[in-house]
C-alpha cells in the first residue's frame, strides 16, 4: 500500500505519517495550551543559557552613561540601569549562571535524596529509623532559612549557593523515594527475585529502582521551580556571584533603589523569574500526572 494519501481538495500527495503526527500535535496543543506555553518558556530559558549572544549580542558588563535609566523601548526591551547597561542583555547573560546553579542544586538533591530514600526503604530497621529522623529534622526547617544558614557557613559564590539549596531540598526527594521503594519492595516480582536467590544489589538495580524512580523525576521537575526561586533569593541577598556579573536575583536587587523612577530594573527581570518558576511547576505537574 502506498505511503501517501491524496488530499481530496487539492489532489496532491500528502505524507500519511506527517498528517497523523501533525494532527496529534494540534490536538495536544488544543488540549493542554498551558503545558505547551510552559514548555515554550522553559525552552526560551534554555536558549538564553546556551547561546546568550544570539539573543542579546551586547556586552552585559559595559554601559553608555548618557543612556542610563532609559525606559523599555524597541532598542532596550527591558530598559537600562543606572549605569546605562541594557537590562535585557544582562538578564539573558545571567541566565546561564542562574540555571546552572539551579541544575546543580536539583542534581545534588536528586542524587543524595534518592540514595538516602532507597537505602532507608530497602534496608529498613535502624537505618530507616535514623534516616527518617534526619529527614524529619530537615523538613521541620523552612527550606529558604536552611539554605541561608548553609550558605552563610559555606561562604559566598554561586556554587556554594547551589550546594546550600540542594542540601535543603534533599529531604523531599528522600521521603518520596522511600515511599516508592516501600511500595515496590512488596510487589510479587520483587519477592520472586528474592526467592530466586539473586543478590540484593541486583534486585535493587534491576527491579526496585527502575520501578520507583518515576515520581522522583516528576518531583525534580517541580522542585526545579523552587530551586530557581531559592537561588534567585540568595543571589538577591548578595550571596551569589560577585558584581558586576549578572545573575537573576542580583538584577532584581540592583533595581531596589530605583523603583520610584526606574521600575523596569526590578519588575521586568522579576516577572521573568516568576514565569520560569510557574512554567517549571506546570511542566512538573504535567509529568506527575502522566505517571498516575
In a domain, 62, yes or no: no
Does 83 score more than 70 pLDDT?
yes
Question: Using an 8 Å Cβ cutoff, are 36 and 225 in contact?
Answer: no
In a domain, 89, yes or no: no
Three-class SS state of 55: helix
Q: 11-20 pLDDT, tens per residue? A: 444 444 444 4
In a domain, 109, yes or no: yes
Cα distance between the two ends of the chain: 39
Q: Are residues 25 and 133 in the same domain?
A: no
- For residue 292, the model assigns a pLDDT of 55
What confidence tier does 93 reach under pLDDT thresholds 50, 70, 90? very high
Q: Are residues 8 and 118 in the same domain?
A: no
Q: Are residues 11 and 131 in the same domain?
A: no
Question: Using an 8 Å Cβ cutoff, are 150 and 138 in contact?
Answer: no
In a domain, 248, yes or no: yes
In a domain, 227, yes or no: yes
- For residue 10, the model assigns a pLDDT of 44
Higher pLDDT, 225 or 198: 225
Q: Are residues 27 and 104 in the same domain?
A: no
Q: Are residues 109 and 238 in the same domain?
A: yes
Whichever domain contains 204, its CATH number is: 1.10.3720.10
Burial of 285 (0-12, 13-18, 19+ CB in 10 A): middle
- For 17, how many CA atoms within 13 A lie in the half-sphere containing its CB? 2
pTM: 0.83
What confidence tier does 5 reach under pLDDT thresholds 50, 70, 90? very low
Q: Are residues 149 and 240 in the same domain?
A: yes
What confidence tier does 22 reach under pLDDT thresholds 50, 70, 90? low
Does 205 score more than 80 pLDDT?
no
Q: Are residues 143 and 235 in the same domain?
A: yes
Q: 96-155 pLDDT, tens per residue? A: 999 999 999 999 999 999 999 999 988 888 988 998 998 999 889 888 899 999 999 988
Angle at 15 between CA 10 and CA 20, to 5 degrees: 100
CA–CA separation, 259 and 242 (whole Å): 23
Q: 278-287 pLDDT, tens per residue? A: 999 888 877 7
What confidence tier does 189 reach under pLDDT thresholds 50, 70, 90? confident
- For 3, how many CA atoms within 13 A lie in the half-sphere containing its CB? 3
In a domain, 51, yes or no: no
Q: 150-171 pLDDT, tens per residue? A: 999 988 889 999 999 999 999 9
CA–CA separation, 158 and 151 (whole Å): 10
Q: 244-262 pLDDT, tens per residue? A: 889 999 999 999 889 889 9
In a domain, 231, yes or no: yes
Distance of CA 47 to the CA centre of its chain: 14
Q: What is the mean pLDDT of the chain?
A: 85
Q: Are residues 127 and 268 in the same domain?
A: yes
Of 220, 267, 241, nearest in space to 95 by CA = 241
Mean pLDDT of 37-51: 93
**Number of independent structural domains in the chain:** 2
In a domain, 171, yes or no: yes
Query: Which domain range does residue 202 map to?
Result: 95-291
Q: Are residues 207 and 115 in the same domain?
A: yes
Amino acid at each position: 500500500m502506498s505511503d501517501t494519501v491524496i488530499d481530496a481538495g487539492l489532489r496532491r500527495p500528502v505524507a500519511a505519517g506527517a498528517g497523523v503526527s501533525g494532527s496529534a500535535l494540534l490536538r495536544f496543543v488544543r488540549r493542554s495550551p498551558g503545558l505547551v506555553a510552559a514548555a515554550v518558556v522553559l525552552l526560551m530559558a534554555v536558549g538564553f543559557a546556551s547561546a546568550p549572544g544570539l539573543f542579546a549580542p551586547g556586552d552585559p558588563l559595559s554601559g553608555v552613561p548618557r543612556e542610563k535609566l532609559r525606559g523599555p523601548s524597541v532598542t532596550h526591551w527591558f530598559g537600562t540601569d543606572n549605569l546605562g547597561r541594557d537590562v535585557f542583555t544582562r538578564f539573558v547573560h545571567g541566565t546561564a549562571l542562574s540555571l546552572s546553579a539551579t541544575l546543580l542544586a536539583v542534581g545534588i538533591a536528586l542524587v543524595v535524596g534518592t540514595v538516602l530514600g532507597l537505602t532507608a526503604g530497602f534496608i529498613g530497621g535502624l537505618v530507616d529509623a535514623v534516616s527518617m529522623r534526619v529527614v524529619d529534622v530537615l523538613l521541620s526547617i523552612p527550606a529558604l532559612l536552611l539554605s541561608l544558614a548553609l550558605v552563610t557557613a559555606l561562604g559566598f559564590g554561586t556554587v556554594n549557593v547551589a550546594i546550600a539549596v540542594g542540601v535543603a531540598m534533599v529531604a523531599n526527594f528522600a521521603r518520596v523515594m522511600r515511599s516508592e521503594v516501600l511500595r515496590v519492595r512488596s510487589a510479587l516480582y520483587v519477592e520472586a527475585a528474592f526467592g530466586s536467590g539473586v543478590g540484593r544489589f541486583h534486585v535493587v538495580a534491576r527491579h526496585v529502582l527502575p520501578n520507583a524512580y518515576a515520581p522522583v523525576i516528576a518531583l525534580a521537575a517541580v522542585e526545579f521551580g523552587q530551586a530557581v526561586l531559592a537561588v534567585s533569593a540568595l543571589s538577591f541577598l548578595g550571596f551569589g556571584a560577585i558584581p558586576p556579573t549578572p545573575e537573576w536575583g542580583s538584577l532584581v536587587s540592583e533595581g531596589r533603589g530605583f523603583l520610584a523612577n526606574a521600575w523596569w530594573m526590578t519588575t521586568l527581570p522579576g516577572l521573568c523569574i516568576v514565569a520560569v518558576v510557574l512554567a517549571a511547576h506546570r511542566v512538573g505537574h504535567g509529568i506527575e500526572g502522566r505517571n498516575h
